[in-house]
Amino acid sequence: MAKFLTSRSEDYSQWYNELVLKAGLAEPSAVRGCMVIRPYGYAIWEKMQQQLDRMFKETGHVNAYFPLLIPKSFFSKEADHVEGFAKECAVVTHYRLMNDPDGKGVVVDPAAKLEEEYVIRPTSETIIWNTYKNWIQSYRDLPILCNQWANVMRWEMRTRMFLRTAEFLWQEGHTAHATREEALEEADRMIKIYAEFAEKWLGIPVVMGTKSASERFAGALETYAIEALMQDGKALQAGTSHFLGQNFARAFDVMFAAQNGEREYVWATSWGVSTRLMGALIMAHSDDNGLVLPPKLAPIQVVIVPIYKSDEALAGITAKVDGIVKKLQAKGISVKYDDRDTQKPGWKFADYELKGVPVRLAIGERDLANGTVEVARRDTLTKETLPLEGIEEYIPALLENIQDTIYKKALDFRNSMITKVDSYEEFKQLLETKGGFFLCHWDGTPETEERIKAETKATIRCIPLDSPEEEGRCMVTGKPSSRRVLIGKAY
């Protein structure tokens, strides 16, 4: 069997890039830092979208759509926000091209210069709060629980497919509330939804926590994040939910008449996950043979490959398989019967391994005679021969088992990679030799945080929500600390 991929141990980064390309997930485009999401990659993203959308709607949210472009001046309205977002972004300055007067091609028409430039949204708080101003007069108009599925652009210097691209797809929730408590509850609700989605669907355990002040979203009073661990021991921030206080309401003058008759500023949250989750999914589970997909997100859950020498034998197998396909589909399982005669079974096996199809059934002529089928599972790469009769009962349970096994494996790995350390020297050493997450005492100052980052490239990933109160001393300065924080090198 041909080896498709550089191994993880050889070069993890190279392995990732090759896998994204060769499994047909995405590829670079002619536009700097932007990728093309190929059909197989997009099919996985669609499954993520469907489930997230369901979870958002079950918690009372509705979808809407706001403009792609944002007037430049909007960015100056919220002081922190302009620092965080208005800088590296795509700027629209003109609205027309014209034929080049000097020859071939087209040039920008200098006469078509915009009075005020527009920025392609890097995130939509500003344009949305400018809109909410018209929607909100009284407490009766609250809460507003809107979500948007959209593309956004940030002019990133170093890009990697899915993990950090100039354009990416995401959802951004933007909610408006009458009270601080309600907004805090919403921010908390949404980070928990992200955590549930990560664990139950992506099969990725996450640490939920709050960001340190310097890592907060630009304009937020509190940022909640879920942090996942990749197989190379690096952390990946997989989703964030922000408590924005009244900052955007003040910036865009959004007030409401409260029940007591007072006029007050509206409280806000925003929260989002993006196609970055694709990167997390790929890096958390896959192996040197290719993708490993949790069944709940696999575009093809079961592939059936016939093994035959004659057309007659194929016809016999196909007749049998047709019945199995129907029975599996009736159970809501997505099945593909690959009877192409242009490729050999071995090539197909390797290709579906590369693509991460959770279950492969192979049926040969002898199987047909014996009433058996070979069942291979992608996660463990194990095979067993089972009776064909009743296979449609076995497969759904197997898919559930694979979903659980993938999660447990990731959980065990993640847990084995959380290290409690109390000495900065030990931290620095283990960071290089072992990697992963570290639970350490920190004195809570931005200076110490900055020093850790400058000296080790590790950052405070979050202050875990479930981290218990514990008296201790900052591993760097020795100053008192009351709880441990999660530190690691991040993507």
Q: Which of 13, 14, 73, 380: binder of its own copies (CB under 8 A)?
A: 73
Q: What are the two backbone dihedrals, phi and then psi, of residue 269, each rounded to the nearest 5 degrees?
A: -135, 160
**In the complex, minimum distance from the CB of residue 479 to its own copies, in angstroms, rounded to a whole number:** 35
Determine if 315 is a binding residue for its own copies (CB under 8 A): no
Nearest partner of 437 among 237, 273, 279, judged by Cα:
237
Residue type at 287 in one-letter notation = D
Interface mask (CB under 8 A) for its own copies, residues 22-61, using x and -? -----x-xxx--xxxxxx--xx--x---------------
Q: Which of 4, 12, 66, 413: binder of its own copies (CB under 8 A)?
A: 66
Sign of CA dihedral 405, 411, 414, 419: negative
Determine if 94 is a binding residue for its own copies (CB under 8 A): yes
Is 242 within 8 Å of 213 (Cβ atoms)? no
Determine if 62 is a binding residue for its own copies (CB under 8 A): yes
Determine if 169 is a binding residue for its own copies (CB under 8 A): yes
Place of tokens 């990731």: 410
Could you give the CA distance from residue 17 to residue 350 in angstroms, rounded to a whole number? 18
Could you give the CA distance from residue 132 to residue 153 in angstroms, rounded to a whole number? 23
Tokens of 140: 């009766």
**In the complex, minimum distance from the CB of residue 351 to its own copies, in angstroms, rounded to a whole number:** 14
Determine if 75 is a binding residue for its own copies (CB under 8 A): yes
Determine if 64 is a binding residue for its own copies (CB under 8 A): yes
Determine if 370 is a binding residue for its own copies (CB under 8 A): no
Nearer to its own copies by Cβ, of 46 and 432: the residue is 46
Angle at CA of residue 442, ends 436 and 445, nearest 5°: 125
Residues 6+ apart with CB under 8 A from 85: 75, 122, 123, 154, 218
**In the complex, minimum distance from the CB of residue 250 to its own copies, in angstroms, rounded to a whole number:** 16
Q: Which of 153, 238, 298, 304: binder of its own copies (CB under 8 A)?
A: 153
Collapsing DSSP to helix, strand or coil, 450 comes out as: helix
Q: What are the two backbone dihedrals, phi and then psi, of residue 249, each rounded to the nearest 5 degrees?
A: -65, -40
Q: Near its own copies by CB under 8 A, which window of 150-158, 280-288, 328-336, 392-400?
A: 150-158
Determine if 334 is a binding residue for its own copies (CB under 8 A): no
Judged by the rule CB under 8 A, the positions of this chain that interact with its own copies are: 27, 29-31, 34-39, 42-43, 46, 62-76, 82, 86-98, 104-106, 108, 117-120, 127, 130-131, 134, 140, 146, 150-151, 153, 155, 167, 169, 342
